[in-house]
Structure 1
């Protein structure tokens, strides 16, 4: 219940308990005989109880309606997602590339997570420091872990742990990718990775991040385990599945599938209140910019930000933004965790960079 409603309800209840008059907004036209005290409308005692009961019943009705609405939209049951386990859908949704396990870069470690009998999901942690923030990352539908062997170290330079997860049938993970198992697997992997981090003394804040298809995984994990995460990061994500499916060449509406029977990202993110950062390319033609704008508008977080990268498309945000991409993510995490340096520290860092640049130039 919003804090203003709680305050009004508390004041009303105290007024009834102590037989006092209570000042309520919007009542001037209801009573012609009311008196004013210090310029405010004061309701006499004999009107208080009826008005208070009306206020209480109205607030309770609004609260119950809000809770029921959230409960009906927070989760996308696995049974509904099985409707999308059709070849004409999975063939455009998933583009798995299977490769043999490669050697992790220096400082990286592989983690395997079992999600079902004979099904193992591969993960790789690019580690900066056990006390640093960790990002659990769900990648796009045509990517695999080795694609991030050059990107992971860039997060490490910003003193961020970067933990990439796969999907069934991707990389050296086993199984077959299905819509009905994508989100349950993501939640299982997240909980297993969190336990692994705890067992290995990683104590920093925990964020979930998703790119493209991975945005559905990240949003679902963040909503289902909001008490375990410190924030959500979305890159090139989508709010509505049906319009995206049309772009990919599948009309889900003609197949009898509604938005509520898909990933339902916009409804889910409307229940998420932790810090949220959304990145999107200005010229993304696959997942158009309005999708990111919808996610940002629907998100219920007080601290939320939409960063549009000029001239970038669906697959070129990092190439266009360069080091700023990783720096801005670090700055968001610092703000979300309350560890952002003050202006004095920023000035010291700026002068240190100037000095380093001058020394490099002299060489």
Structure 2
């Protein structure tokens, strides 16, 4: 009996140590999972029409892609997903610009050629720098539409909470990183481990501006149910499910219609939904 107890004690000790080791490992590597910045050779900041590097005194270096709006038109400030980078947003920006809208895309720390390491607070700081530059050019919050894809919903929602925009567009949003981590690692105490929670769900009820949400019903990265839940949490949200839409291909599947829908929403115009709404 004593031997059995010793064996069980050793077994449970090994299991506990292994579990603690797993927790420690996930805590250490989580940012490489959350922020898988596209890798490539280091190069100079992007060149070409619209690309600029902002270097505010005492603030972070921030690369942006900015195409000014036509007179009287709003500007869309876009925050990309965690697997994208600034250079990939030229087509989207030009499509918005062709419709008369301004477009400002913000790069994150550690992405592209931006120095630094991506963190939730670091991304918020980069967003504030870009928005301050937009204000300096005369674009007011009431003429600003915050836009995002996937993880970009984190800074978009936070900037909306801080009063930086009059409208908000979320494409394939999640409720929080904790909820996403629970889906991937249900056996871990994710609420204790997550360092960058991006808790969109807790912020949504306090954001009383028009919100437009798109989510593909075949999204295998962020479940469409999360987008639907976000649609219920915002006081003034319209949630549209895109039939056949995935995660990374959502814009390409519905591109012209989706951009037209966003442009109409940005101007405050009525538009025919591109899909069926969520419950």
Provide the TM-score with structure 2 as the length reference: 0.77
- Residue 163 (1) aligns with residue 94 (2): no
Q: Determine the structure 2 residue equivalent to 1:240.
A: 176
Alignment of 1:10-159 (within 5 A): 86-97=27-38, 99-100=42-43, 101-105=45-49, 108-114=50-56, 116=58, 119-159=60-100
SS at match of 1:244: helix
- The two structures, once aligned, show a CA RMSD in angstroms of 2.9
Contact conserved, 2:142 with 2:165, CA < 8 A, in 1? no
CA distance in 2, matches of 1:254, 1:295: 21
Partners of 2:113 and 2:96 in 1: CA distance: 23
Look up the SS of the partner of 2:94 in the other structure. Answer: helix
Maintained 8 Å contact 1:113/1:121 = yes
Contact kept in structure 2, 1:223 and 1:271, CA below 8 Å: yes
Aligned residues: 244
How far did residue 211 of structure 1 move? 1.2
Deviation at 1:146, TM superposition (A): 0.9
Q: What residue number does 1:208 align with?
A: 146
Q: CA deviation at 1:145?
A: 1.1
- 1:310 matched residue in structure 2: 243
- The corresponding residue for 1:193 is 133
1:340-359 CA deviation, whole Å, 9 max, x = no partner? 69xxxxxxxxxxxxxxxxxx
Unaligned runs of at least 5 residues, structure 1? 1-84, 342-363
Correspondence 1:220 to 2:161: no
Distance 1:282 1:255, change over 3 A: closer
Deviations 1:1-50 (A, max 9, x none): xxxxxxxxxxxxxxxxxxxxxxxxxxxxxxxxxxxxxxxxxxxxxxxxxx
What CA distance in whole angstroms lies between the structure 1 residues aligned with 2:141 and 2:156?
21
- Check conservation: 1:130, 1:204, Cα contact below 8 A: no
What SS does structure 1 have at the residue aligned with 2:267? helix
Q: Which residue of 1 aligns with 2:214?
A: 279
Residue 154 of structure 1: SS of its match in structure 2? Answer: helix
- The structural deviation recorded for 1:286 is 0.6
Query: Matched residues in 2 for 1:277 and 1:252: separation?
Result: 33
Larger radius of gyration: 1
